[in-house]
Amino acid sequence: MATPFRRTNRLDVERAELLRQPERAIASEYFSSRAVEIYRLHPLQFVQETFGWGMGRLDKSDGPLLWQRDFLLELEACLTDGQAVHRLAISSGKGVGKTAVAAWLFLWHVACHEGRNQTTATSVTGIQTASRFWREVRIWHGLWTMRDQFTILQREMRHVANPSWIGINQTWNEGSTEGFQGLHEQYTMYLVDEASGIPDSILETIDSGATDQNVLIIYFSNPTRTTGRFREAFRRYSADWLTYNIDAREVPIVSSESVARALREANGDIEAASFRMNVRGLFPLEGHDQTIPEHIIAAARARFTELPALEPRAPISVGIDLARQADHRTCFCVRQGNYIYELATYPKQEPEEVLEALRRLIQRYAEPLRPLWFYLFGGGYNLAVVDLAGKEGIRIGQIMPQPVNKVRFADRRSELWYELRSWLREHGCLPDNRALCDQLENCYYTYNGDQQLIESKDQVVARGLPSPDMADALAASFGYAGAGAQLMGMDLSGMEMRQRSQFSRIPGSRPRYFLSEWDGEDGAHWSAADAMLWENAKQEQGVKNEQSRITRERTRLGELRERGY
């Protein structure tokens, strides 16, 4: 057996001598002050020297684990680098000892910042004080050589001789964040255990209050969610955070049997959500109710290298999302095939201002042989824009609420989001637009009976996230998908559109340039769109050999489908 690690404690001799004095409270306060002097900038030394490693309940342990020591050394470096605020986040598998580190830091920060600190800890339990974290603090308080200096209660730990020397186990309520506001001291620390499960409104309040000097914000959690502020500490806000990933397979206190069992439950797939979260300490590739997961978005971004020139005869689809409230934005998404050529956003506008923006889009993109199609979700305020545009000969296709696939989807918007998901998975190329990618990733779905339903904008905003205006505009650009198409002036032999003028004959629904029901094999069944294509061919062009012409067009449609049109 290895010799237990035991560092000589400089306070042991002083403590034994001082605590023999009759004025015990005075001796206790003096001893605590010495701890402040010695350990304030050295949390690792504090942990190594103030717990009875190698004795009693710790007789089989010689000190912190290797990853715990490395983390505490990183924290020591932060304390002396001169920055006012430090943010650290640990994402780990289960059973690696992260809650023990949180408990050590709570004891360290309270003990080593005499009367000049605000130490606030919170956990996923919310209004309940009996959290796993607080039980861990009680356990380590019982093993602490300084335990007689501090009394631990249900919601706080305080010094026996100084009532202002205190650390708090803060409860929270999502609708009331006042407990985390207005905390200003010379030294402040927020410890957040299981941060992935805490509402963003609480974490935002904590972060917004970090305005003083000597502020520490530390998150600990298993990575259970694909969105939220804990997730973004490792992604969007990573420049402001020191982040750590702890793989349970590399931690000696985690048994190989438990890892093997987790792998069997994941059917041997190390990328399975359960294995990533519980063992590898990585965020799942997609949430269980996430409409468009991160890995699909990442693949679409990887496909984008540079924006190609517009093709002169391929159609352009413009999705429009109109702002109805002040915290939303009006957005126009210009897409041709697999590429987004423009994302224009404006504050909430009057119908006349929207019409002016449409005129500018037409001037930039309209060509004699290139159709330009407009789509927006119909109803309500949007009707005023449609009527004004119609008076100038600009026809806008209204996307009605009724879905085409009434069995699977509750409304047309949900259906188009899944058309968008398919496009991103197969062909779509996303530009480097962080706001758009976040909006695509942050929309979740639920079920209305047996039908899938994408959450509304108001529901997204209620979760503390921006309104998905750009994402809805991109989804609207697929307004033709799955719907019956009107071929107005279409030359089937060359797949060209004859526009009678720049502003007229823009149909309310776009031709079906690819057939989702066509599998490309000989003898494939004909879809409703095929039948409409056949009827228009006979009526408008007097096709003599209909079968051969339609076969050629099916081949052409297949080519366009591969190119994303």
The whole-number average pLDDT for the span 501-521 is 31
State both tokens at 110.
């309270």
Measured distance CA(484)–CA(511) in Å, rounded: 8
pLDDT tens, position by position, 169-184? 887 766 655 555 555 6
pLDDT at 259: 94
pLDDT at 28: 45
Whether 218 has a pLDDT exceeding 90, the answer reads yes
Whether 122 has a pLDDT exceeding 60, the answer reads yes
Averaged confidence pLDDT in the chain: 78
Cα separation values, 175 from 17, 199, 202, 263, Å: 51, 10, 9, 39
Q: Exposed, middle or buried, 560 (CB in 10 Å: 0-12/13-18/19+)?
A: middle
Q: How confident is the model at residue 524 (pLDDT cuts 50, 70, 90)?
A: very low
Domain 10-254 class?
Answer: alpha beta
The whole-number average pLDDT for the span 19-45 is 62
DSSP secondary structure, 380-413, as one string = TTHHHHHHHHHHTT---EEE-SS-S-TTTBSSHH
Q: How confident is the model at residue 514 (pLDDT cuts 50, 70, 90)?
A: very low
pTM higher than the cut 0.75: no
The whole-number average pLDDT for the span 13-37 is 49
In the chain, domain spans: 10-254, 302-476, 490-562
Residue 103: CA atoms inside 13 Å, Cβ hemisphere, count? 21
pLDDT at 477: 92
Measured distance CA(330)–CA(47) in Å, rounded: 55
Q: Which residue bears the tokens 């996307």?
A: 399
Whether 36 has a pLDDT exceeding 50, the answer reads yes
pLDDT tens, position by position, 242-284? 999 999 999 999 999 999 999 999 899 998 888 999 999 998 8
Tell how many helices (H) and how many strands (E) occur in the chain: 19, 17
State both tokens at 218.
């530390």
Q: How confident is the model at residue 556 (pLDDT cuts 50, 70, 90)?
A: low
pLDDT tens, position by position, 450-462? 899 999 988 888 7
What is the chain's length?
565
Whether 128 has a pLDDT exceeding 50, the answer reads no
**Per mean pLDDT, which of 40-54, 192-206, 471-485 is the most reliable?**
40-54
Q: Give residue 364's Cα distance to chain centre.
A: 35
CATH of domain 302-476: 3.30.420.240
Whether 513 has a pLDDT exceeding 90, the answer reads no
pLDDT at 80: 87
pLDDT at 519: 30
